[in-house]
């Protein structure tokens, strides 16, 4: 159990996933955006423009470092070299938050560049908790763990995702990053109820929320299959879930994720404004 203050000091305001094509406009015209999220792996070079831009941004905005490659749900041990690179980045930047995913991506074959699913059992719970303990010990800070989008289930799963996450927060003291789009995508794909998932979610541990877009497809049986594409505006039912959630738990740092088919800055800023209206309904 890692004992430290609440895992994030991000503003209770909208943030956006940072894209270098938006650098000048974000600096000149951030609108309601008070913080930025970066993917840790894109800033693991030794120098050049990426690190110079990040340094300049960090002097103006709170930064959330979001890892996509640590493979916390992996069967094998964590990659010590990668964890050391994260420690270096987090030490250099002193970000307001560090988060990673309940997923895996690396195995002896290599790094798969996707957030792959894992079964929820006592054995995987123990393993993931050990990995989170290791991350928090090496980084010297609490981390947030994000709920995944899933497309399939494991026959061996015998625990709900919300129970799994609750138990992880209890064992490790980690906080949670609640991705509302992922909740909607997974609930649709798994034919469960998104509202019920959010009611069962340990919201006391939430340090950050994510919003983003998804693609609508169907499987070979004609059942809906939503894909977490991060390539579109947030869908209406996800906004509804988000608004209900904020009404229940109060304002929380909220990220607009848009990683593919990246829109022009005004489109992204507009998404942040929609979130800002929900976060502060009087404004």
Partner 1 sequence: MSTQTQFIGALLDAAAPVPDGLIDPEGRAAGKRFDVYRNNVIVSLVAALRDGFPALNSLLGPEYFDALAGIYVRQHPPSDPRLMNYGASLPQFLSGFEPLAHLPYLADVARLELAIRTSYHAADHTPVTPDQLAAIPPEALGNQCFGLAPSAVLIHSPYPIVGIRAKALGGNMGEARAHDVLVARAEFDPIPHILAPGVLSFLTALSDGRALGDAAGLAAEAAPEFDLSAALGLSLSAQILTERAIP
Contact between 191 and partner 1 per CB under 8 A:
yes
Residue range at the interface with partner 1 (CB under 8 A); choices 9-17, 30-38, 190-198, 264-272: 190-198
Contact between 155 and partner 1 per CB under 8 A:
yes
Contact between 122 and partner 1 per CB under 8 A:
no
Contact between 50 and partner 1 per CB under 8 A:
yes
Residue range at the interface with partner 1 (CB under 8 A); choices 64-72, 89-97, 197-205, 270-278: 64-72
Contact between 81 and partner 1 per CB under 8 A:
yes
Contact between 223 and partner 1 per CB under 8 A:
yes
Binding residues for partner 1, rule CB under 8 A, total: 50
- Measured in whole angstroms, how far is the alpha carbon of residue 145 from the centre of its chain? 7
Which are the contacts of 102, defined by CB distance < 8 A and separation ≥ 6? 72, 73, 118, 128, 145, 146, 147, 148, 161, 164, 165, 168
Q: b/e string for 102-130 if b means 16 or more Cβ within 10 A?
A: bbbbbeeeeeeeebbbbebeeebbebbbe
Asked if residues 213 and 229 have their Cβ atoms less than 8 Å apart, the reply is yes
Which are the contacts of 193, defined by CB distance < 8 A and separation ≥ 6? 187
Q: To the nearest whole angstrom, how small is the minimum distance from the Cβ of residue 44 to partner 1?
A: 5
- Measured in whole angstroms, how far is the alpha carbon of residue 138 from the centre of its chain? 20
- Binding partner 1 (rule: CB under 8 A), the pick from 153, 232, 249, 262 is 153
Tokens 């964590």: give the residue.
78
- Binding partner 1 (rule: CB under 8 A), the pick from 97, 105, 147, 234 is 105
Beta strand pairing status for 144-146 and 97-101? parallel
> Could you give the 3-state DSSP secondary structure of residue 124?
helix
Q: To the nearest whole angstrom, how small is the minimum distance from the Cβ of residue 249 to partner 1?
A: 28
Q: To the nearest whole angstrom, how small is the minimum distance from the Cβ of residue 95 to partner 1?
A: 18
Q: To the nearest whole angstrom, how small is the minimum distance from the Cβ of residue 130 to partner 1?
A: 16
- Binding partner 1 (rule: CB under 8 A), the pick from 4, 24, 27, 52 is 52
CA distance linking residue 252 with residue 247, whole number of Å: 11
Residue range at the interface with partner 1 (CB under 8 A); choices 5-13, 94-102, 146-154, 200-208: 146-154
Rg of the chain's alpha carbons, rounded to an integer? 18
Asked if residues 159 and 126 have their Cβ atoms less than 8 Å apart, the reply is no
- Binding partner 1 (rule: CB under 8 A), the pick from 41, 130, 133, 244 is 41
Which phi and psi (to 5°) does residue 30 adopt?
-75, -15
Contact between 182 and partner 1 per CB under 8 A:
no
Give the residues lining the site for partner 1 (CB under 8 A): 41-42, 44-50, 52, 68-70, 74-76, 79, 81-82, 85, 104-114, 116-117, 119, 151-156, 189-192, 219-221, 223, 225, 227
């Amino acid at each position: 159990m890692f004992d430290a203050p609440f895992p994030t000091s991000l503003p209770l305001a909208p943030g956006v996933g940072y894209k270098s094509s938006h650098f000048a406009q974000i600096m000149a015209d951030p609108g309601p955006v008070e913080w930025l999220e970066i993917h840790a792996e894109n800033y693991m070079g030794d120098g050049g423009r990426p690190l110079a831009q990040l340094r300049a941004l960090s002097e103006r905005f709170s930064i959330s470092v979001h890892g996509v490659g640590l493979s916390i749900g992996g069967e094998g041990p964590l990659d010590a070299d990668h964890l050391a690179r994260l420690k270096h980045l987090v030490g250099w930047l002193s970000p307001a938050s560090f988060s990673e995913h309940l997923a895996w991506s690396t195995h002896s074959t290599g790094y798969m560049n996707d957030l792959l699913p894992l079964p929820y059992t006592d054995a995987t719970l123990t393993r993931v908790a050990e990995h989170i303990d290791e991350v928090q010990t090496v980084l010297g800070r609490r981390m947030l763990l994000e709920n995944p989008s899933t497309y399939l289930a494991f026959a061996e799963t015998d625990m709900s995702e919300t129970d799994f996450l609750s138990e992880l927060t209890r064992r490790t003291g980690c906080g949670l990053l609640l991705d509302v789009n992922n909740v909607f995508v997974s609930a649709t794909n798994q034919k469960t109820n998104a509202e019920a998932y959010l009611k069962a979610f340990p919201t006391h541990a939430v340090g950050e929320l994510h919003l983003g877009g998804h693609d609508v497809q169907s499987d070979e049986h004609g059942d809906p299959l939503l894909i977490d594409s991060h390539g579109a505006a947030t869908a209406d039912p996800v906004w509804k879930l988000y608004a209900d959630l904020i009404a229940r738990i109060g304002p929380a740092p909220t990220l607009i994720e848009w990683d593919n088919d990246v829109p022009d800055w005004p489109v992204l800023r507009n998404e942040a404004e929609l979130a800002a209206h929900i976060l502060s309904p009087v404004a």
